[in-house]
A and B are shown apart, each in its own frame.
Chain A
Amino acid sequence: MALTLLGRKVGMTQWFDGEGKAVPATVVQVEPSVVVQLKRRESDGYTAIQLGWGGVKGGKLPKPLRGHFQKAGVAPRRKLYEARVDDPDAFQVGQELGVEQFSEGELVDVTGISKGRGFAGTIKRWGFSYRPKSHGHKLIRRPGTAGPMGLRKVIKGKKMPGHFGAETVTIRNLQVLKVDEARGLLVLRGSVPGPRKGILKIRKHDA
């Protein structure tokens, strides 16, 4: 139950931390989200705020959604998402939330969709070993055996080639190295799933 905002991965660089050490860093652009609806226990059964993010031409949205934004009195947004917060009444409909919600040194969890790798073999997908390249070998990247002969079947969950990547991944406990309010940028220590320009959910880390 903590504030979550959407952002976009800008790319990676290095950052000098307080001790003068260069650490790997990811830059995330957090354009402000706007509060569209407050969800309360009495009316919805749980507490949250509904947020809209990203510009969109109103005509691109279905009419019911347009009405939803109109009711809140905010311009239509491309994405609607929720952040589970304990006290929705601490926020107001129409309020804009951006990078200023984060502070330097705090920890965040980042959720994104990892880079899709298509149909991948066992070496890329599961980290299997290569076979020798020489001394009479030719099936260098093949997976080897699928199980013992006497078993007469393949164990469920056996690591095989197949679709890899493009799945939801959460990286927890990334330290906020820098908050740039003027540009709406966050600098996080470490890496983050997905390609550049990929959409990320940044959640304040609690517990």
Chain B
Amino acid sequence: MTGMDDLIGALEEEHLKEWPEFRPGDIIRIYERVSEGARERLQPFEGVVLRRSGSGSREMVTIRRIAAGVGVERTIPLHSPKLERIEVIKRHNIRKSRPYWLRRITRLHKIQ
């Protein structure tokens, strides 16, 4: 059996989507398709990227925002067909790959 190693990776490529480059610490806005009955609409979610985990089509992204005074974190499959668009709002130069200390920061747009 030759070349079995990356058969899965080759299959997953079909799901992969082209997104703008962003890394943990950046502020992004995602647009997700939400179906309400027969109607479909785009629901945005904007926040700071806390981590990117996994690889290939299984990659997940965790986004944190403050909504109505409460911290909300969403972890979303990055290559889900429900994701319509990703906008990079602001890029930051953060050293950690898992900047969990951002959870203690309330005014995110004021980092650095």
Tell me if chain B binds chain A.
yes
- Distance of A103 Cα from B86 Cα, bound (Å): 34
Q: Which of B1, B11, B82 contacts A13, CB < 8 Å? A: B11
Q: Does B57 sit at the interface, judged by CB under 8 A?
A: yes
Q: How many A-B residue pairs have CB under 8 A?
A: 43
- Distance of A197 Cα from B10 Cα, bound (Å): 17
Q: List A1-57 residues whose CB lies under 8 Å from chain B.
A: 8, 10-11, 13-16, 20, 22, 27, 29
Chain A residues with CB below 8 A from B15, complex form: 15-16
Chain B residues with CB below 8 A from A16, complex form: 15, 57, 77, 79-81
Chain A nearest Cβ from B82, distance in angstroms: 4
Chain A residues with CB below 8 A from B82, complex form: 20
Chain B 85-100, CB within 8 Å of chain A: the 1/0 string?
A: 0000000000000000
Q: Does B68 sit at the interface, judged by CB under 8 A?
A: no
A interface, over-half SS: strand
Chain A residues with CB below 8 A from B80, complex form: 16, 20, 22
Chain A nearest Cβ from B85, distance in angstroms: 15
- Distance of A197 Cα from B8 Cα, bound (Å): 13
Chain A nearest Cβ from B15, distance in angstroms: 6
- Distance of A41 Cα from B100 Cα, bound (Å): 70
Known: A16-B80, A197-B1. A27 touches B7 (CB 8 A): yes
- Check A183–B81 contact: CB distance below 8 A: no
Q: Does B109 sit at the interface, judged by CB under 8 A?
A: no
How many B residues are at the interface, by size bracket?
A: 10 to 19
Q: Which of A11, A20, A22 contacts B8, CB < 8 Å? A: A11
Chain A: interface residue total (CB-CB under 8 A): 17
- Check B57–A20 contact: CB distance below 8 A: no
Q: Does A180 sit at the interface, judged by CB under 8 A?
A: yes
- Distance of A10 Cα from B1 Cα, bound (Å): 10
- Check A10–B8 contact: CB distance below 8 A: yes
Chain B residues with CB below 8 A from A8, complex form: 1, 4
Q: Does A185 sit at the interface, judged by CB under 8 A?
A: yes
Q: Which of B7, B10, B15, B77 has the most CB atoms of chain A within a 10 A radius of its CB?
A: B7
Chain A residues with CB below 8 A from B11, complex form: 13, 27, 178, 180, 183, 185, 187
- Distance of A187 Cα from B15 Cα, bound (Å): 13
- Check B81–A20 contact: CB distance below 8 A: yes
Instruction: Enumerate 6 A-B pairs (CB-CB under 8 Å) in ascending A order.
Output: A10-B4, A11-B8, A13-B56, A16-B57, A20-B33, A29-B1
The 7 closest A-B pairs by CB, nearest first: A20-B82, A20-B81, A10-B7, A13-B8, A16-B81, A27-B8, A11-B8
